[in-house]
Amino acid sequence: MTKYVLAIVLAGMGFVFAAGLKGLPSTLGGFEKWAVVAKNLDTGGPHSGLSKQVFANKIAAAAWKKTGKLPVGSIVVKTSGKISSPGFVAVMYKRSSGWYYEEYFAKNGSYSIGAGGANGQALCKDCHAGGKDELFTR
Ligand code: HEC
């Protein structure tokens, strides 16, 4: 009996862990349950031709439809392909110094920064400068 209970508990934990994408920082935990502010984008743009979705955390979502810039603390995530295993996870964090960019790619089932990040802000920022408050889908 104990064995069965243990097995069920472990299976349950496995499910919970599987729900998050491995390698992403905890600040992005559960982003797939955030508000979807743009979906099924198929612009064929720079972020692959796959169907793309844009998610906004609570702070960003609350201000998304208002005018003006998104407040500090906003996080906006764009994914491509299946939400359970996206090809990439592109992130914009609104800091007091402005938007900070990171793009995570899957490698062997785990996500790590492949663009943006500490040495890659210019690549993202230069193009996003063409958006409103650096955003294209708002
Ligand atoms: C050549 C232009 C270009 C570059 C470079 C670029 N983006 Fe984008 N980005 C876009 C466009 C256009 C969209 C609108 C949605 C779409 O078509 O994919 C977008 C959308 C986004 C969004 C959703 C929020 C929004 O702006 O609507 C995020 C998050 C994002 N990009 C992150 C990044 C990150 C991180 C990088 C750098 C690693 C990056 N982008 C580099 C053009 C660019």
Domain ranges of the chain: 23-128
Dist CA 37 CA 55 (whole Å): 6
Q: Is the pTM of this model over 0.85?
A: yes
Q: Render the burial of 42-78: b for 16+ CB within 10 Å, e for the rest.
A: eeeeebeeeebbbbbbeebbebbeeeebbeeebbbbb
Query: In the predicted model, is pLDDT for residue 91 greater than 80?
Result: yes
Assign 80 a pLDDT band (cuts: 50, 70, 90): confident
How remote is the CA of residue 124 from the centroid of ligand 1, in Å?
7
As a whole number, mean pLDDT of residues 107-127 equals 95
Q: Whose CA is nearest to atom 6 of ligand 1?
A: 124
List all residues 6 or more positions away from 119 whose beta carbon is below 8 Å from its beta carbon.
none
Query: In the predicted model, is pLDDT for residue 53 greater than 90?
Result: yes
Half-sphere exposure at residue 96, Cβ-oriented, CA atoms within 13 angstroms = 0
Does domain 23-128 fall into CATH 3.30.450.20?
no
- Residue 138 one-letter amino acid: R
How remote is the CA of residue 128 from the centroid of ligand 1, in Å?
6
